[in-house]
Amino acid sequence: MLLYIYLLSHSVLLAMIAEFLFLHLLQGWHRSRRMEVAIVIIEDQEKQKGIQSEVQVLEMVSGHENIVDFYGAYYHQAPRTPSLPEGLWIATEFITGATLQDLIGTRKTLGERWISYICKQITTGLFHLQKKNIIHHDIKPENILITSYGEVKIGEFGFATFGEKSSSTSGTITYSAPEVLANFTNKHEYDHK
């Protein structure tokens, strides 16, 4: 699926949100969908190779209410428009709101109904991933997004893998399951004692 952003048009405004080493995060306009999108630009060619798996996962899971929507990928070459960064452009849903981590950081007490709602939405998203045989590997408060409308969405699929079982130990160590940290295989039941 190719992202169709008319790059030469002055009606398309791109605002830089953040810049990292070899990565840019911009706010853009998806012309055919007539909506704002988040655009991640990956300049480093080695990193582009590694991101192909994430793009495949996003294509498979997009469209579910609890997963950040994916709108396409596009390779931009600088000679066409030298003012824009060259690299792999990935367009996803632009979410205004906060992460679950931001909510936790406020240190305000969340009501039981609100917590229950968030948990149910995360679980529904994880069930969708399970039906597609995808393991996220990095579920943590920073990767749970809450829109300004209160929708709960799972994002950041950089460590995701395909399959019912995985021996991968990737992800954020402080949020890893004990059996992952203990390096158990899926052939044995984990004994937490």
Q: Give the active site residues.
A: 138
Residue pair 51/88 in contact (Cβ under 8 Å)? The answer is yes
Residue pair 143/154 in contact (Cβ under 8 Å)? The answer is yes
Residue pair 94/148 in contact (Cβ under 8 Å)? The answer is no
Give Cα separations from 125 to 46, 49, 107, 193 (angstroms): 30, 27, 25, 30
Give Cα separations from 127 to 61, 91, 138 (angstroms): 11, 24, 15
Residue 46: both structure tokens together = 């080695």
Closest CA to 157 of 17, 45, 39, 50: 50
